[in-house]
Amino acid sequence: MAHARESAPGECCGLLFGDGEVVDRLVRGRNVHAMPETRYEIDPAQLREAIAGTDDTDRYLVGIYHSHPRTEPKPSDFDIANARWPAQVYVLTSLRSEPPEVFAYRITDGKAPKIPIVET
């Protein structure tokens, strides 16, 4: 959330690591997309490093997060078309309201059903 605020008006993005569906580590990503105000692309080198860096632990990449500074926290057509990361869960936060909304989605076959977020 802090990352989303610092990155506005651009979108922020990052990686969520954990075990199964429990996230316990967040790695901030660099948004390298040419239009960071409405789209995101995590620096591919950073993504590879982050994934390689988890080899010696029992942590896995379980999700990707990014922010929508001005629009609803729902995957855009671009987000759905580009959901090719080796991750299960896409977390989206929107700064259009206070406190920011946060939702999680699974993106498969062009569909993005919302899934519940459970805070532990």
d(CA 44, CA 93): 22
CB 15 within 8 A of CB 52: no
Position 38 contacts Zn ion (CB under 5 A):
no
Applying CB under 5 A, among 13, 17, 33, 79 the residue interacting with Zn ion is 79
Instruction: Give least dist CB 120 to Zn ion, A.
Output: 26
Q: Which positions ≥6 away from 12 have C-beta within 8 Å?
A: 3, 4, 6, 28, 29, 31, 40, 65, 66, 67
CA distance 79 to 98: 23
> How far is residue 30's CA from residue 52's CA, in Å, rounded to a whole number?
17
Nearer to Zn ion, 46 or 76 (CB): 76
Q: Does 41 bind Zn ion (CB under 5 A)?
A: no
Using rule CB under 5 A, residue 82 touches Zn ion: no
> Residues in contact with Zn ion, total (CB under 5 A)?
2
Minimal distance in Å, beta carbon 69 to Zn ion?
10
The smaller minimum CB distance to Zn ion, of residues 41 and 79, is found at 79
Mark out the alpha helices in 8-55 (DSSP H runs). 44-52
Q: Pick from 46, 54, 76, 82: which binds Zn ion (CB under 5 A)? A: 76
Least distance (Å) between residue 103 CB and Zn ion: 12
Which residues here bind Zn ion, judged by CB under 5 A?
Answer: 76, 79
